[in-house]
Amino acid sequence: MLDPWTGRSVVDVDKNDQLTRGLRYLARTISTSVAAFFALFYFAHLGEFFQGGGFATWTWESTGVTVVVFSLAVGTALAWWREGVGGVIVTLIGIVGVGSIFLPGSGPLPYVIGFPFLLSGILFLYCARRTRTTADQRSATSV
């Protein structure tokens, strides 16, 4: 069976390598738990919006948080099935989070927000690369 995007054999991928499996579960745990944590606060803010504040309480910051939370949910969900694509999205969110340290009055909060995403995104990308390398090595030896 061939992967429609890469043309490589999907059957040859060794997803049960112990290091890859451990890093994959670590990345999934970090990204899912942090995404759920931020989604909880996002839905609380959204509740204020619907309980009477309306658009008077909606700010550009609210829009930014909405984009980040939605992107994080999509990236984390994609990373469960497509580690490379989801890893890129989660890594970009981590870079944006850490990069927001340059905003005035941000303090150390961007490191707290961005670092878990940056770490899990890099782990997803590493697992995707490691899985692809293993598949390439197996297909080269079987030819």
Task: Examine the pLDDT at 41 and tell me if it is beyond 90.
Answer: no
Q: Output the pLDDT for position 135.
A: 57
pTM of the model: 0.71
The CB-side HSE value for 114 (13 A sphere, CA atoms) comes to: 18
List, in sequence order, the alpha helices (H) in the chain.
18-48, 60-81, 83-99, 109-142
Decide which of 122 and 5 is more confident. 122
Q: Which pair of structure tokens corresponds to residue 143?
A: 């030819």
107: left (phi over 0), alpha (psi -120 to 50) or beta: left
Q: What share of the chain has pLDDT > 90, as a percent? A: 15
Domain residues of the chain, as ranges?
18-134
Report the candidate in 139, 135, 107 with the shortest Cα–Cα distance to residue 14.
135
pLDDT digits (tens, 9 = 90+) for 59-115: 777 677 778 778 888 888 898 888 899 999 989 988 887 777 666 666 677 677 788
Report the candidate in 130, 117, 135, 125 with the shortest Cα–Cα distance to residue 19.
130
Cα–Cα distance list, 32 to 87, 105, 119 (Å)? 13, 28, 13
